[in-house]
Amino acid sequence: METSDSSINVSKPNNPLFLCVLSNTKTSHIEKISGAGKTAELTDYTPVGDAEIVETGDIITAPILPMTPPYDTPTPSLTTRAALKLADIPHMFINSGLNFTPEVPFVDMKTSPGEDIREPVTVPDAKDIFERAYKIGKKIQTKTDFLMIGESIAGGTTTAMAVLNALGYDGNVSSSSSLNPVELKTEVVKEGMDASGVTFGSLRDNPIHAIKTLGDPMMPTVAGVVTGFKESNNASRVVLAGGTQMAAIFSVIKHLGYNTDNISIVTTQYVVNDKTANFEKLTTEMLGVPMDFVDPEYGKSSHPGLRRYEAGDVKEGVGAGGAIYLARLMGIPVDDVRKEVERMLEIFASK
């Protein structure tokens, strides 16, 4: 497996914990802005389906397996499920503004889905969410020496772009689709900034306001949990499991003035290779956060849907790259994860 950055501490953790934050934003209803769902309407169910897959290996209330058009490329939650299960890594969900309730146990942030970012305000209670999440982060057992956090929120790369711009980063965000709708995203972000009276970099000293006006409800939860956790466990490692969305959250944590030692970002090779984004430059040069990535080797797969990852569909999500990375630290080869995902897909195909 390729890795890119040896500045990350790659020793085996004793007590890892994987958190996944689940949210919706009405931004995903904009036609063609997100590929994290077969249609714009179905993006509402993506985080619910993802949580049910990670928890049980099957969908329960979600109408269909979350997938990316046009080739129905299957959700990265299958990868997360396989990696966590094989490596016996405990996980926990946080509901931070879902449209529907998944059939899984979760911590409830008692908040609502985010508005379309073209509205003046998108997450009115961003500050309250951050503060509640901070308390949750502080309460996570002190024996956790490796906290990994992933997310599922369709439309999340667009909100990430908006927040990065508000904080003064010209970050080119990735996409769940091989056809990243960069022009559409740029237009939507501009409209959102205009509606909120925000200009490039104008909120660099007020990242919570950037989330309130242009972000999504997943962001203050991840930022709050991470900073709260670090207050009581500063020596423990924290990995933001994701691509450019996690870079946006790192920028929030940094601009809030918190200590970012021991925080890194881990993603998949598919995000790093995305020419429409600039993940590597954004993380290592612009934000100064250590990053690493894994190669899920889905090009080797017998399953045509998984092979589409190599073409740039899906790429990452639900902390899939991080989950493979963590499973590998726990001694599970990447091949085993892929085979387990293929096995799960065979079960779906036979239903």
Token pair belonging to 4: 């890119």
Q: In angstroms, what is the minimal distance from the CB of 229 to ligand AAM?
A: 21
DSSP 157-190: HHHHHHHHHHTT-------SSSS--HHHHHHHHH
Q: In angstroms, what is the minimal distance from the CB of 66 to ligand AAM?
A: 4
Nearest Cα residue to 148 out of 104, 192, 62, 84? 84
Q: In angstroms, what is the minimal distance from the CB of 296 to ligand AAM?
A: 13
How far is residue 299's CA from residue 158's CA, in Å, rounded to a whole number? 27
Which residues touch 281 (CB under 8 Å, ≥6 apart)? none
Site string for ligand AAM, 119-158 (x = CB under 6 A): --------------------------------xxxxxxxx
E-state strands within 185-333: 237-241, 263-268, 291-294
* Residue 90 burial (10 A CB sphere; 0-12, 13-18, 19+): exposed
Q: Which is nearer to ligand AAM, 265 or 318 (CB)?
A: 318
Q: Which is nearer to ligand AAM, 94 or 318 (CB)?
A: 318
Distances, alpha carbon 200 to alpha carbons 175, 185, 255, 257, 324, in Å: 21, 15, 15, 19, 35
Q: How many residues bind ligand AAM (CB under 6 A)?
A: 22
Q: In angstroms, what is the minimal distance from the CB of 112 to ligand AAM?
A: 18
Q: In angstroms, what is the minimal distance from the CB of 218 to ligand AAM?
A: 9
Q: In angstroms, what is the minimal distance from the CB of 114 to ligand AAM?
A: 12
Nearest Cα residue to 163 out of 216, 98, 104? 216
Q: Which residue is it, tokens 């934003």?
A: 25
Q: Which is nearer to ligand AAM, 52 or 151 (CB)?
A: 151
Q: In angstroms, what is the minimal distance from the CB of 242 to ligand AAM?
A: 7
Residue showing the smallest CB distance to ligand AAM in the complex: 317
Helix locations, 266-333, DSSP H: 269-272, 279-280, 304-307, 320-329
Q: In angstroms, what is the minimal distance from the CB of 172 to ligand AAM?
A: 13
Q: In angstroms, what is the minimal distance from the CB of 209 to ligand AAM?
A: 22
Are 161 and 33 contacting, i.e. CB atoms less than 8 angstroms apart? Answer: no
How far is residue 248's CA from residue 93's CA, in Å, rounded to a whole number? 21
How far is residue 259's CA from residue 8's CA, in Å, rounded to a whole number? 16
In three-state secondary structure terms, 264 is strand
Q: Which is nearer to ligand AAM, 212 or 315 (CB)?
A: 315
Are 16 and 144 contacting, i.e. CB atoms less than 8 angstroms apart? Answer: yes
Q: Which is nearer to ligand AAM, 123 or 236 (CB)?
A: 123
Q: Which is nearer to ligand AAM, 94 or 230 (CB)?
A: 94
How far is residue 219's CA from residue 158's CA, in Å, rounded to a whole number? 12
Touching ligand AAM, residues 296-335 (CB under 6 A): 314, 317-318
Touching ligand AAM, residues 66-95 (CB under 6 A): 66, 68, 75-76
- Work out which of 175, 236, 264, 269 binds ligand AAM, going by CB under 6 A: 175
Site string for ligand AAM, 18-57 (x = CB under 6 A): ----------------xxx---------x---x-------
Q: Which is nearer to ligand AAM, 38 or 230 (CB)?
A: 38
- Work out which of 144, 176, 178, 233 binds ligand AAM, going by CB under 6 A: 176
Residue numbers at the binding site for ligand AAM (CB under 6 A)? 34-36, 46, 50, 66, 68, 75-76, 151-158, 175-176, 314, 317-318
